[in-house]
Amino acid sequence: MAEPLFRAEGLSKYFEMQKGSFARKKYLKAVDGVSLEIDRGETLGIVGESGCGKTTLGRTILQIYRPTAGKVFFGNMELEGLSERQMLPFRRKMQMIFQDPYASLNPRFTIGDIVEEPMAIHGMYTPARRRERTQELLSLVGLKPDHIRRYPHEFSGGQRQRVGIARTLATEPDFIVCDEPISALDVSIQAQIVNLLENIQAETGVAYLFIAHDLSMVRHISHRIGVMYLGSLVEYGGVEQIYGDPLHPYTRLLLSSEPVPDPRLARAHRAPPPEGEPPSPIDAPPGCPFCSRCAFVLPECAADRPKAYAQPDGRKVRCFQYSARRRQQRRAFGVRDIADAPAQRPHAQHPHVQHPSAQNSPVPCPPAQRPPWSPAGGGRA
């Protein structure tokens, strides 16, 4: 099998929040054990609420932040431990498009200087060829070659994002992290920028990690999707799998706000309305971090953090409901979907946060109401 262009294994980035002796140190786990891979010419969409760690993931992948743990491979080369000098060729091949097209361009530089600068830094071409190439890149992103003498303040948000894309393409990257590149733009401009990125991909074979905060933004551009919650990928699979048959309770929650045109798919999208807040990423309690908002809580959810369980269709789901044991139990009792199981909310006895609906129900379900695969003792999946 061909090697992926890019691969991350168990990637983590913790920020130290409180200094002191080892025992007293507090860490904010912005990215916690993320594994993913991206092939040439592919787009992996990363979706999650604000603050869940998307930007930190993008920056750690590009080694702007050095990872706290985990490995990153570009082709067959592991990037861990490389000096800045050894990293230079990889920095040229891995670039980033930023969220804010107003803040990301130096207002004192002309558009020509902004686009040309990365080529100069990496010692590419002669000065004359660099100028020529800058004009070619501006044409490629839908701007005029004579815009090189203008300044960023003379352009609209959409045009500035085009300049940012031209600058990113200047070093001929194989892989670009697009950090919410359309979130700050008017809805009418968003589709234009997505189309531009798709055309560039078709022409150059570049791979994208496309970050967004809602699923509708990544739907059309992505081949695969990773749904992120509090630093981890909770569901990771093909775009048809995620939209057609979302499994993780958080993916269902994200999708439940979207209209579903096909009534056959409506069942899978069924989810209770959003409730509760995610726990703090600083010293998060044990157990599943989605426990406080989940409508499908199992006895084991409060004690342990679920692993990323591989599913028969190839996707990975970080939820005890999709462990091999729980899937087998559902099959044995003829239950097709977790939403068809009797309510289990009274079991949500999380040590730090309780599901809002569980707060008035401290008494466990009587045996008759318990789902048949949920024995009184709970047990590990």
Ligand X SMILES: Nc1ncnc2c1ncn2[C@@H]1O[C@H](COP(=O)(O)OP(=O)(O)O)[C@@H](O)[C@H]1O
- Cα–Cα distances in Å, from 357 out to 22, 139, 265, 293, 305? 38, 56, 27, 10, 22
Contact in structure between 349 and 285 (CB atoms under 8 Å): no
Q: Under the criterion CB under 6 A, does residue 321 sit at the interface with ligand SF4?
A: yes
* Calpha distance 282→293 (Å, rounded): 18
Sign of CA dihedral 8, 11, 13, 19: negative
Tell which one of 12, 55, 60, 95 touches Mg ion (CB under 5 A).
55
Footprint (CB under 6 A) of ligand SF4, residues 229-268: 249
Tell me the pairing of strands 309-310 and 94-97.
unpaired
Q: Under the criterion CB under 6 A, does residue 306 sit at the interface with ligand SF4?
A: yes
Candidate ranges 30-38, 54-62, 295-303, 327-335; the one touching Mg ion (CB under 5 A): 54-62
Tell which one of 288, 308, 341, 353 touches ligand SF4 (CB under 6 A).
288
Phi-psi category of residue 264: left, alpha or beta, with phi > 0 → left and psi -120 to 50 → alpha: alpha
CA angle 274, 277, 281 (to 5 degrees): 140
* Calpha distance 134→140 (Å, rounded): 10
Q: Under the criterion CB under 6 A, does residue 291 sit at the interface with ligand SF4?
A: yes
Q: Which is nearer to ligand X, 54 or 92 (CB)?
A: 54
Smallest gap from residue 233 Cβ to ligand X (A)? 12
Q: Under the criterion CB under 5 A, does residue 159 sit at the interface with Mg ion?
A: no
The crossing angle, in degrees rounded to 10, of helices 157-169 and 111-121 is 20
Q: Under the criterion CB under 6 A, does residue 104 sit at the interface with ligand X?
A: no
Q: Which is nearer to ligand SF4, 158 or 306 (CB)?
A: 306
Smallest gap from residue 62 Cβ to ligand X (A)? 13
Ramachandran angles phi, psi of 28, nearest 5°: -100, 115
Site string for ligand X, 33-52 (x = CB under 6 A): ---------------x-xxx
Q: Which is nearer to Mg ion, 47 or 138 (CB)?
A: 47
With CB under 5 to 8 Å by kind, the binding choice for 28 among ligand SF4, ligand X, Mg ion, none is ligand X
Q: Under the criterion CB under 6 A, does residue 30 sit at the interface with ligand X?
A: yes
* Calpha distance 130→171 (Å, rounded): 11
> Using CB under 6 A as the criterion, which residues of the chain lie in contact with ligand SF4 when the complex forms?
249, 288, 290-291, 294, 296-298, 301, 306, 319-321
